[in-house]
Structure 1
């Protein structure tokens, strides 16, 4: 079977079209040269891409048709199928409409269940068109190609990141008292290859206070679901005696913006979730970096 997910940011230029002749027994049958055709583009109704969080949601299929009889009633049905097995996932949904012209378009929505598995789930929307308002009889046309990239959606499993930190110069957990560079290694799981993410973080004190030291990768496009990338935080003078820890988040790149000072801001009206994953534990030993000798480790002053 072909890969129906060639890229997270592009769809196949060719739209699969399926057609069958209208049965002569139908009361409004077309001539032999006329054919009913369907093709659709499936997207997340919340934000117009084909990717869903693990919570699921609603897929909207924008369907174009041709060969219909103006003024006649039709029923469009849609169901999700597993492209690997061809089996249906969930119940079919029906939508009745009256054709205004031989060619036109109609949209149909169906629910996408939450993903409770450890892996991303791939589905394709399969369509059938029936004559009349009740969706009975043989379909006039079908669009049920498991390799149709325009009809493909993906429901994410839990996407996560984990962070470890080290002195970029020598790999240990202590920075020179005068400062230096902290390398935060960000490992990610279950991302979408080819999709654009923003990775952003800030250095916090061990008690959770911000240092106003930020680092980011404005557009990170992974080539694999699982992988890693490094953020580098530049620590200036003035932090000797404290421990610092990177707090890092993974975001949809098209839902955030970075200011000139490095601060990350959510875009107005951006659909949730904006942050996909984070590793906020400020007490994790693998993330704590000492700047010189921490105050609490200094000998007690008996004077």
Structure 2
């Protein structure tokens, strides 16, 4: 660096810098004249015996603002600022040396990196190392930090060779010609009340992590701020406790600029002066979200805690289990019962408000089911609101836990003997087929019945029951009644109930239902016999003796030879037989006359 002096260590107070334009660069403006800072020399560096005898930067104070800044020489072979006339600020991504060599963006960014990271200092050694590194990075052979070069001798005398070389190495590693990238990451989903780790990362365009970068992390949700410094891999971490809102972390960092800023003289023979300590801001944001709450519901009959409501209606309590809610936040759960078969709403609605005490909990929604839903399955659909915003739903038309059955029962009672609705007068067996719909499958049930007197509406005391396990939602069960004698001419109506665990879940009790009715026949009347009158006895008439014909004179029969026969004897056995026969005939005739006479008498009596 070549300087004009009127005494050692002091730039001439007569240097006219009033024409320097501030432009876009902070620092000196209207510095007329330059003045030492704090009574010290304007140099921050080291006095040496080679070259310009100084190595380092120099401090100028802007007398208009009172601010100071450390500048470095950009053209080692040119005259100092006192020969520059007016100065104006510029920036460059390319740099042409005073020998005409053009430096590309990569090398310019390396010079900017050294000036930006280490240039602003009060350390003589550090300022000397920066000066040596900046000269070397311009590519001039005389100022390379190799033995026997001017640059090497200057650095050696100042004792900063190694430091300057380290600066050059680091600049080559991390200054690649484009801006660094700052990123911050947090878990995508976090739970309320947990601790969240935020990771900041600073990387080059090629993905190399940059160490030593100060990063400020701020959770916008809670206002907490944490300052960290990137490690050797270019990352740094901070931890934030979640509140009622998920973390929204903003990261910011100030890093060395990649663009070279300098002041250009109005006179070409003077050196350009390089600004130091220039930085650029990087920022990034990331936010977590709380997992969306999720719901599970269990709809049960309030009366006994099962999944069935009687046909006449009842109360359903739907217990809504929520997870991943935000503790302390108010919610509203709104439900409606749906018809499972049609998938349409029934219009049966209910809601409940609650404030979550923890991430998980339950809320109860109470539905009132009126009569008229027998034979239908009702499914509870639930929606969780955070204010007017829907945050969770549970709407599964086939979810067993959300389903309540409203059973329906119908019966058909018939005579077991011939399957009609008529029972003989002497009694018999009635088989009542109870058909059920919409019961919960897999459960054990009892169907119980009693025969009612249709005329009086009173029970007969004739009862029967049957147990069954429902294999499906719909099916049949048979109940067998034994009807004794004594019910002839009466109509018997079967009343049935279906119960589970002692609770009636369905019934069919219609005294006028023909299907439930069996008529008991009247007894067949026995014909009354016509009584037979007792006959009046007819007096027995005195029999008239029969006329006896005169006996003919028998013709004598000659006696056979050899003896006399018994029949030949007059008045013997033959005569007795004839007389007896005549008498018998006469008696028979009298009896006949008496019978005929009696019948004629009865006929006339009618």
Same fold, TM exceeding 0.5? yes
Q: Counterpart of 2:494? A: 248
Conserved 8 A contact 1:73-1:97 = yes
CA distance in structure 2 between the aligned counterparts of 1:171 and 1:82, rounded to whole angstroms: 36
Query: What are the equivalent positions in structure 2 for 1:119-158 lying under 5 Å apart?
Result: 120-131=375-386, 135-137=387-389, 139-156=390-407
Structural RMSD (CA): 4.4
**Could you say what secondary structure the match of 1:150 adopts?**
helix
C-alpha contact (below 8 Å) 1:165/1:288 kept by paired residues: no
Distance 1:39 1:188, change over 3 A: same
Equivalents in 1 of 2:348, 2:454: separation in Å? Answer: 51
8 Å contact 1:80–1:123 — kept in the other structure? yes
- Aligned counterpart in structure 2 of residue 46 of structure 1, from 296, 299, 303: 303
1:186 aligns with 2:433: yes
Secondary structure at the aligned position of 2:366 is classed as strand
Deviation at 1:284, TM superposition (A): 9.1
Compared with structure 1, are the counterparts of its residues 202 and 255 closer, same or farther at alpha carbon in structure 2 (3 Å cutoff)? farther
Matched, 1:289 2:535: no
Deviation at residue 298 of structure 1 after TM alignment? 4.0
Q: Which moved more, 1:196-205 or 1:139-148?
A: 196-205
In structure 1, which of residues 5, 8, 28 is the aligned counterpart of residue 244 of structure 2? Answer: 28
Mapped to 2, the partners of 1:81 and 1:58 lie a distance apart of 15
**Preserved contact between residue 21 and residue 35 of structure 1 (Cα < 8 Å):** no
Q: State how far apart, in whole Å, the 2-side matches of 1:210 and 1:144 are.
A: 46
Q: Could you state the TM-score of these two structures normalised by the residue count of structure 1?
A: 0.63
Aligned position for 2:410: 160
Higher helix fraction: Structure 1 or Structure 2?
2
Shift of residue 111 of structure 1? Answer: 3.1
1:150 CA displacement: 0.8
Displacement of 1:62 after TM fit?
Answer: 0.6
- For 2:393 and 2:454, the matched residues in 1 are separated by 60
Q: Which residue of 2 aligns with 1:174?
A: 424
For residues 81 and 206 of structure 1, the distance between their equivalents in structure 2, rounded to whole angstroms, comes to: 42
CA distance in 2, matches of 1:167, 1:150: 45
Q: Which consecutive unaligned segments of at least 5 residues does structure 1 have?
A: 1-19, 257-269
- Please give the secondary structure, in 2, of the residue aligned with 1:46: coil
Contact 2:352 2:365 (C-alpha < 8 Å) held by counterparts: yes
Gaps of 5+ in 2: 1-188, 192-219, 222-242, 247-287, 532-606
Aligned match of 1:16:
none
SS for the counterpart of 2:401 is: helix
1:121–1:28 distance in 2 versus 1, CA, 3 Å = same
Larger radius of gyration: 2
Asked if 2 retains the 8 angstrom alpha-carbon contact of 1:203 and 1:244, the reply is no
Contact 1:188 1:226 in 2 (8 A): yes
1:1-303 matched pairs, under 5 angstroms: 28-30=244-246, 31-32=288-289, 34-83=291-340, 86-90=343-347, 92-115=349-372, 120-131=375-386, 135-137=387-389, 139-156=390-407, 159-167=409-417, 173-174=423-424, 181-188=428-435, 190=437, 192=439, 194=441, 196-202=445-451, 212-219=461-468, 221=470, 223=472, 225=474, 227=476, 229-233=478-482, 235=484, 239=485, 242-243=488-489, 246-254=492-500, 256=502, 276-280=507-511, 287-290=518-521, 294=523, 297-299=525-527
Distance in 1 between residues matched to 2:509 and 2:375, nearest whole Å: 19
What TM-score does the superposition give when structure 2 sets the normalisation length?
0.35
Contact 1:61/1:108 (8 A) holds in 2: yes
Shift of 1:50: 2.5
- 2:297–2:319 CA contact under 8 A, matched in 1: yes
Deviations 1:186-238 (A, max 9, x none): 35364636362422224869877766543221457475636462414164xxx
CA distance, structure 1, for counterparts of residue 488 and residue 424 of structure 2: 10
Partners of 2:245 and 2:336 lie apart in 1 by 26
- Which deviates more, 50-59 or 96-105? 50-59
* Higher relative contact order (Cα pairs below 8 Å, separated by 6+ residues): 1
Q: Count residues in correspondence.
A: 252
DSSP 3-state at the match of 1:58: strand
Contact 1:70 1:100 in 2 (8 A): yes
Q: Is the Cα–Cα contact under 8 Å of residues 413 and 421 in structure 2 kept in the other structure? A: no
